[in-house]
């Protein structure tokens, strides 16, 4: 049955003391990642029996938290990540927001949280980007506006049960390269000590606790001089899953034949929207795509024989970043002499070309937010 989309009205309360033009320009010249926030945020409340209500755009500000707030104790909290890009004609677009809306719903279902409608999710993005359009960096560079939708329990009480009250919030942060070294090949630490997710667990949800659980391993990676953790599966401790905040892909090359190998969605790794998009980009570029189990042993052996020629991380924040070195308790090996690979960079320029409006959007992935 065809159902009409339900759009809500957002109450707009503009900030009385936005960041000055001069200060904002300084920030946009070197935004880093996740350090500065725009003048406004979107907030929507949920209460069981009443549903989602009080849709509003308000000045960016702090929340006050009751010490018995259930999220502080039992951790019902999920989030998303996507970006807004300015095109050379001044318009602002985002990339596949409905896919993020759907994953947000799936994460909510896994964490016994209410689903926010896709319309509310996408409309919240439209409202925030409209009012904070001056925060979207200029066209022609890598910089864009990172959007962070999230939802958390707001009921107070210590009984262990799904909360009956939640808050959805959208904040935005101008962003440059995710890794401090820019788009240089990174070193990953293959974690044998810890696991990120297990069958039946929460790994496929964008659940805050997954990230909390990853931090001890990230500290271990830091101590080893590595940029990120590469996670293995919980059972065999051999199958490659993903990185702390990115999926992974490998390039297999035999003359002109190129195959992109990526770990199959096992139920414990996050179904990345960049990963999904790159499967299509790869096919458009004439490459084959092989989603399957790939072990550390296979990776090391076939990097050694020269069959696997490149490795890269992919995700919204990181875009595509080459991986140069794999390090673990068993030693280390490098891929492509620790240099950015040709296929990796071709995939990157194609994806970012579409996102930044420099290549045709043949798959209808872009949604215009501001004309």
- Residues lying near ligand COI in the complex (CB under 6 A): 81, 245, 315-317
Quick one: which of 295, 277, 133, 110 has its CA closest to 206? 110
Which C-beta is closer to ligand COI: that of 86 or that of 275? 275
CB 230 within 8 A of CB 191: yes
Residue with tokens 């179904």: 271
Quick one: which of 287, 285, 300, 293 has its CA closest to 334? 300
Site for ligand PLP in 136-175 (CB under 6 A): none
Which C-beta is closer to ligand COI: that of 228 or that of 309? 228
Reported as type and span, the H/E element at residue 345 is helix 342-355
Quick one: which of 349, 204, 311 has its CA closest to 265? 204
Q: Is 228 in the site for ligand PLP (CB under 6 A)?
A: no
Phi/psi-derived region of residue 307, left when phi > 0, alpha when psi is between -120 and 50, beta in every other case? alpha
In angstroms, the CA 46 to CA 195 distance is 33
Instruction: Residue 247: name its binding partner from ligand PLP, ligand COI, none (Cβ under 5 to 8 Å by kind).
Output: ligand PLP
Which two structure tokens, joined as six digits, stand for 198? Answer: 């297990």
Site string for ligand PLP, 314-353 (x = CB under 6 A): -xx-------------------------------------
3-class secondary structure, 21: helix
- From the CB of 79, what's the least distance to ligand PLP, in Å? 9
- From the CB of 315, what's the least distance to ligand COI, in Å? 4
Site string for ligand PLP, 185-224 (x = CB under 6 A): ----------------------------------------
CB 350 within 8 A of CB 360: no
3-class secondary structure, 220: helix
- From the CB of 107, what's the least distance to ligand COI, in Å? 12
Q: What are the phi and psi torsion angles at 113 (to 5°)?
A: -115, 160
CB neighbours (10 Å) of residue 276?
Answer: 15
Q: Is 272 in the site for ligand PLP (CB under 6 A)?
A: yes
Number of residues counted as binding ligand PLP (CB under 6 A): 12
- From the CB of 347, what's the least distance to ligand PLP, in Å? 13
Instruction: Residue 350: name its binding partner from ligand COI, ligand PLP, none (Cβ under 5 to 8 Å by kind).
Output: none
In angstroms, the CA 74 to CA 88 distance is 46
Among 55, 83, 126, 275, binds ligand PLP (CB under 6 A): 275
- From the CB of 182, what's the least distance to ligand PLP, in Å? 19
Beta pairing, strands 82-86 & 228-232: unpaired
Among 123, 127, 241, 242, binds ligand PLP (CB under 6 A): 242
H helices of 152-295, in order, are: 208-223, 273-284
Which C-beta is closer to ligand COI: that of 266 or that of 316? 316
Which C-beta is closer to ligand PLP: that of 137 or that of 245? 245
Q: Is 245 in the site for ligand PLP (CB under 6 A)?
A: yes
Applying CB under 6 A, which residues contact ligand PLP? Answer: 81, 242, 245-247, 270, 272-275, 315-316
């Amino acid at each position: 049955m065809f159902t009409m989309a339900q759009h809500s009205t957002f109450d707009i309360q503009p900030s009385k003391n936005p960041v000055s033009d001069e200060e904002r320009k300084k920030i946009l010249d070197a935004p880093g990642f996740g350090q500065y926030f725009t003048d406004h945020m979107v907030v929507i409340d949920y209460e069981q029996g009443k549903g989602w209500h009080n849709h509003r755009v308000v000045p960016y500000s702090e929340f006050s938290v009751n010490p018995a707030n259930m999220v502080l104790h039992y951790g019902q909290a999920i989030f998303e990540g996507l970006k807004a890009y300015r095109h050379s004609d001044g318009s602002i677009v985002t990339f596949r927001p409905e896919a993020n809306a759907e994953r947000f719903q799936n994460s909510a279902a896994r964490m016994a949280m209410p689903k926010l409608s896709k319309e509310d999710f996408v409309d919240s993005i439209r409202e925030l980007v409209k009012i904070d359009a001056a925060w979207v960096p200029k066209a022609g560079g890598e910089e864009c506006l990172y959007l962070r939708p999230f939802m958390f329990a707001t009921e107070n009480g210590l009984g262990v049960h799904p909360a009956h009250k939640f808050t959805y919030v959208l904040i935005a942060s101008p962003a440059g390269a995710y890794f401090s070294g820019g788009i240089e090949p990174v070193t990953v630490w293959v974690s044998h000590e810890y696991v990120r997710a297990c069958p039946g667990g929460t790994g496929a949800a964008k659940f805050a606790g997954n990230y909390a659980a990853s931090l001890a391993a990230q500290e271990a990676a830091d101590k080893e001089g590595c940029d990120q953790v590469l996670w293995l599966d919980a059972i065999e401790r051999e199958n490659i899953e993903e990185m702390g905040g990115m999926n992974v892909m490998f390039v297999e090359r035999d003359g002109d034949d190129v195959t992109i190998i990526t770990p199959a969605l096992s139920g414990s790794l996050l179904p990345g929207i960049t990963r999904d998009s790159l499967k299509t980009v790869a096919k458009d570029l004439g490459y084959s795509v092989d989603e399957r189990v790939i072990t550390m042993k296979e990776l090391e052996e076939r990097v050694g024989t020269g069959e696997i020629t490149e490795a890269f991380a992919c995700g919204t924040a990181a875009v595509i970043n080459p991986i140069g070195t794999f390090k673990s308790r068993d030693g280390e090996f490098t891929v492509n002499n620790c240099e950015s690979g040709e296929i990796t960079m071709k995939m990157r320029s194609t994806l970012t070309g579409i996102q930044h409006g420099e290549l045709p959007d043949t798959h209808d992935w872009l949604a215009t937010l501001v004309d």
